[in-house]
Amino acid sequence: MTTIAPNDFVHLHTHSEFSLLDGLGRITELVDTSVRHGFDSLAVTDHGALYGSVAFYQAATKAGIKPIIGVETYVARRSMTDKEGKADSQPFHLLLLATDMTGYQNLCRLLTDAHVDGYYYKPRIDREHLARYGRGLVGMSACLGGEIPKALEAEDWELARRLAGEYQDILGKGRFFLELQDHGIPEQRRLNEQLLRLAPETGLPLVVTNDLHYVHREQHEAHDVLLCVGTGNNLDTPNRMRFETDQFYLKTAAEMHALFPDQREALLNTRRIAEMIDLKLPLGELRIPHFPVPEGETVETWLRKECEAGLVRRYGAITPDLQQRLDYELGVIISMGYAGYFLIVADFVRFAREQGIATTCRGSAPGSIVTYTLGITPVDPLHYGLPFERFLNPDRVTMPDIDVDFEDERRDEVINYVSRKYGTDHVAQIITFGTMLARAAIRDVGRVMGMGYGDVDRIAKAVPNQLGIRLEEALVQSPQLKEMHDGDPQIARLLGFARQLEGVARNASTHAAGVVISREPLTELMPLQKATNSDALMTQYEMHGIEALGLLKFDFLGLSNLTILRKAVDLVHEHRGLEIDLDDIPLDDARTFELLASGETTGVFQLESAGMRRYVRELRPTSVFDLAAMVALYRPGPMDNIPAYIRRKHGTEPVAYLHPLLEPFLNRTYGIFVYQEDIMAAAMALGGFTGPEADTLGYAIRKKKSSVLRSMKDKFVTQAAERGVPPQTIDAVFKAFEPFERYGFNKAHATCYGLIAYQTAYLKANYTVEYMTSVLTAFRDNAEKVAAAIAECRRLGIEVRTPDVHRSGLGFTVEGEAIRFGLLAVKNVGESAIESIIAAREGDGEFRSLTDFCTRIDLRLVNRKVLESLAKVGALNMLGHPAQILLGLDDALAAGQAAQRDRISGQTSLFDLAGDDSAALERPLPATPETPVRERLRWEKELLGLYLSDHPMGEVAERVGLFVTAYSGDLKDESLDGQRVVIGGIVTGMRTVVTKSRSTMAVVTLEDLQGTLEVVVFPRTYEQTLGTWRDGAILLVAGRVDHRGEEASLLADSVWDWDAVAERGPDAFAQEVGALDRRSGRRGGGGPPGSNGNGNGGPYGGGRREPVAVGPGVGPGVRVSPTRTDAAATLPRVAPAEPIPAYAEPPDLAAAAAGDGGPEPEEPPLPDEQRSRAAAAAQAPSAPVEAAPGAVLNVRFAREAGRDRVVSAMQAFQALLRERPGQTPVVVHVPAPGGTAPMPLRGVAYDSELLSEVRRRIGEGVIELHLG
């Protein structure tokens, strides 16, 4: 038998991991295996998108393989604009390959239109659209799902011949092939026989492919798990989607020849197609958009003039040092070709400031005097000692990256300005890909294997909470995980699958900040699709691919704290007549630093977490430098230096330097390495490095670039020794660098965020009412955060008043030294009803009575339900107490409706005739006792989402703070997972659960000042405390914090009745808790992670956690509340949560993007609010992208979302159902007293676009979709 050479065959039908949740082939693994098999060309043809194409192009080119860029696209059964019924939800498959740049651009156009105009279950084109953009493309008939194979399956030979002719006419003679495949499936072999007959009849050539979805044969089981993740099935789900054989892998040429020994020409046609490919992507060519400058100027000369003018504006007199720094930076920027980039950023920042949009800068850009003189950043790099090279290093050529933050509510205004200026077809947001990180992979695989949530959760939590940790490393670092793996074959199997899936791309979403602006229309360089968080478009290439194409990424991040700052400044101006310029406030304000020293930093940017509050109190900061240092140090790695920093600041430890030459650089940080720039300073001071060389060393340490680090370290050692630095000092300096291998802030970023922290603290300390009003307004849609902010207002002595039809506006307002709740916060009360009430109040003054109120407002907008809701929350109290209002409502409504009917008909009513004496005609409100307090508070909770006028705990609520170590609002802090705390609250609900062992346990709802908490009482504890858990009982509960996704609960191990504890006092109680811990041998909680909360280990055993340090009088393992101010109770050392990067790129993608040897771009860390969202998303299970037959879409609403937001979300979701009818049944779980009520709705077209559309219209954190 004649054989073929390895390079005579080319794989042309290849699915990488970017066939999301369908392909398991990692780019680098595909390329490396192709090299080993002797191939010299390879195609990647993912489903419906080019997501991985640039990374693949780079990796293949580097490996010496010709990259072939293509797609397995979807062809609509009718028109691509038809979107109804079952037929339109099942498009045909078609393979397209780009042979040259024209074909590539046509492919980009086709895919953009498929996503934007043709999406229905899948991104679809049609033959008419293909005919318009078919030049430069080669087509293949695809798998069993192709249009021609489907015609042959139905034995419709006439249709098959017609389709074959049409595709050949569209793409050109010799550019459309019939595809032969054999994966051991009988249907395929039958199709092959039909294609062998069809080919000579139509004159079409044949080609052999393998529809590979993984790289190695042994990966087929892991791929099956991946399919289940993508379709929401378990492995044992009957009739689920599966690949029937294990043949969908990257086979050798010999294996393919063995499958088709008689089809040598079809095999060689793969080589002929590869030879047709002559595509060169325009990588490495800088494509800065054109920026308009005055006639006679270039972007370079105009940038210099703008900076010179800014230098005078910022500094006044220009010193030689200032001029030298500016000239140096401009020289670097202009020589690297980035002048236009800086002008573009300065322009949209200028626009924001002119529109009154608060803005600041993030990352390393504040280290540039150019950004400071252009007004991009408020931070003076000279005053704060910020080096330019950390931002832009001529020796380490990277794209400049200026990360700009805007008010989150007005960020889109700035993006829209940029779109108008440069053209909507030149601007798009940037895609990012979520990957299966270690914990998420465990959760996904565990669900697919049918394991219980609790068991899977325990396994996932045994993975160390470390940024980017892989399961292979986790098995070494975590004895508990290793014990589970070795002791249970099922867990070993789970971890085996998870290791194969971790790092694989699982979803596409919109980058939190990234926007690209191009010189030419973007579709000439890449395909676009709808953004997942707005109506805008986003690129199909992530940031590495964008930059490889020579495009610059601009960062527009929405930051709620900037919204809070701007609104607080506006409120101060409105109520006090004071103009505050936050860039010009005193940076030595005593009241601000008193606030910070107290640790009462709720609502203060970056300083709110439990651990940070403890350290800030100990630090007692006295400058922005201190705040910047704390922001930088409170991260894994550098945080080990926090205690020494605090001791040295207060003189309890002498300030020492590793070498005298370091003193000028480290004097502000007391000799401690705090920032990434401190590495640069040491390299320059001791090793004589230049600025660019010092930055390269720092980069090598941060990125663990071992080869670069070796050469830079050798140079440092040699040059430092030449300068007389002892060898032991050199070793000590490199030892001080080690924490930065894990994580560290650059100084410019920390300074900017330290400055915002100071600004928020300044407003809170000096304009407290206005600031807290702004905080409440910013978080108005989050009931939990509103409750926490109101609790802080109570602590500060600020009265938060109930809604009132005579005083309230739409939102929160300042009322003297108090804050008034807005009417929009009341459930069932819409904006139009409120506007009617306000208009009547402003037009004719205050309402005299309930009848007067009903007569003057528009009863078409303000119906009975609205009035009942207003009465129940006390908004009508000036007219009568709620019980009177509710009893008198019928009469008042009847009178109001009669009066309004008379006016409409032109008659004069008795009330109009009576004028000011009309009250005499009104029936007085009935005399009735006031509503009991408990009922009134229940109404408030139901209609406002929180207790406002009082709390069920009554006067006890404030005193409980002396006994507890945390409030419910604290427990979502990731660092508290597994920590033992004491919570106090009132029991507002309880349900019992019978376990598999026939024991009874309870789930108790506990309410405290900050919100609601779920307390889990396991059987042993429940049996011992059975009589304590009474509805309405005020209890203190000790237990371990347990995080499940974004929710936190308390696993109780001890409980006390409040009355008994209150008699003994807080110190005696703390000693009792401590003694109890010591007797039971607890160390940081009732057993290890995974324990049952009764002090004994869980099903997998494992080691115990180390105890949490506490202050005097408090037992080990009990965390002390940051709200306690008594000297005896100091806060424990609480480690911060691991940082989550601004985006989670697939590791192989990032590696491929850096494959040309260039440095990887760095992104600054996200603020806490975005980081928390990213952390939750990274650890959450994957959302299926397809619904299995028989699956039901369950829709639930977030418990903490505001009432109006839930109603609005429900309306938006119902509109979405009307637009996207389909076969997947929907059940909405409507919030109801005591739980939810299921409500079946019409079927929906479930696909990834539905998930994106929900995010676009409803936003994050409001609605949860789950296939079951």
- As a whole number of angstroms, the distance between CA 26 and CA 1097 comes to 39
Report yes or no: 981 and 1015 within 8 Å, Cβ to Cβ: no
SS3 label, residue 151: helix
pLDDT digits (tens, 9 = 90+) for 1145-1157: 333 343 433 333 4
Q: What are phi and psi of 507, to 5 degrees?
A: -160, 160
- Give me 1037's structure tokens: 């509960």
The three-point CA angle 304-305-311 to 5° equals 85
Alpha carbon distance 816, 838 (integer Å) = 20
Six token digits for residue 411: 């960020």
Quick check: 616 and 608 in contact, CB under 8 A? no
Report the candidate in 74, 84, 99 with the shortest Cα–Cα distance to residue 12: 99
Q: How far apart are CA 235 and CA 494, in angstroms?
A: 12
pLDDT of residue 646: 94
Amino acid, res. 1098? G
Rg, C-alpha atoms of the chain: 33
Calpha distance 815→808 (Å, rounded)? 9
- Helix (H) or strand (E) run with residue 261 in it: none
Residues 1054-1077 as b/e (b if ≥16 CB within 10 A, e otherwise) read: bbbebeebbeeebbebbeebbeeb
CB atoms within 10 A of CB 221: 15
Backbone φ and ψ for 1128, nearest 5 degrees, come out as: -70, -20
pLDDT of residue 867: 93
For 431-494, the DSSP string reads: EEEEE--HHHHHHHHHHHTT--HHHHHHHHHTS---TT--HHHHHHH-HHHHHHHHH-HHHHHH
What is the distance between the alpha carbons of residues 396 and 8, in angstroms, rounded to a whole number? 41
> Judging by DSSP bridges, how do beta strands 427-435 and 1263-1267 pair with one another?
unpaired
Residues forming beta bridges with residue 405, ordered by sequence position: 360, 557
Q: How far is Cα 1016 from Cα 1235, in angstroms, rounded to an integer? A: 17
Spell out the long-range contacts of 723-730 with Cβ–Cβ below 8 A and sequence spacing 24 or more.
Answer: 723/686, 723/687, 723/688, 725/659, 725/661, 725/686, 729/658, 729/659, 729/686, 730/686
The position carrying tokens 């940038």 is 303
The DSSP symbol for 122 reads B
Q: Over the stretch 962-1016, which tens digit does the pLDDT of each residue have? A: 888 888 878 877 767 788 889 999 998 888 888 777 888 899 999 888 888 899 9
- Count Cα neighbours of 1245 within 13 Å in the Cβ-side half-sphere: 22
Residues of the chain short of pLDDT 70, as ranges, are 1-2, 396-397, 636-637, 703-707, 741-743, 906-922, 975, 1045-1046, 1077-1185, 1188, 1199-1205, 1232-1235, 1248-1249, 1252, 1255-1256, 1259-1261
Structure tokens at 103: 């074909």
Please tell me the distance from the alpha carbon of residue 300 to that of residue 308, in angstroms, as a whole number. Answer: 12
Which is it for the CA torsion 139, 141, 147, 148, positive or negative?
A: positive
Q: How far, in Å, CA of 406 to CA of 416, rounded?
A: 13
Cα–Cα distance measured from residue 303 to residue 318, given in angstroms and rounded to the nearest whole number: 18
d(CA 45, CA 295): 48
The whole-model pTM stands at 0.81
361 neighbors 377 (Cβ within 8 angstroms): yes
Residue 348 corresponds to which tokens in the numbers above? 């949209």
Could you give the CA distance from residue 973 to residue 602 in angstroms, rounded to a whole number? 13
Q: 1146 and 30 in contact (C-beta within 8 Å)?
A: no
The residue to which tokens 């506990």 are assigned:
1006
1162: tokens are 């760095």
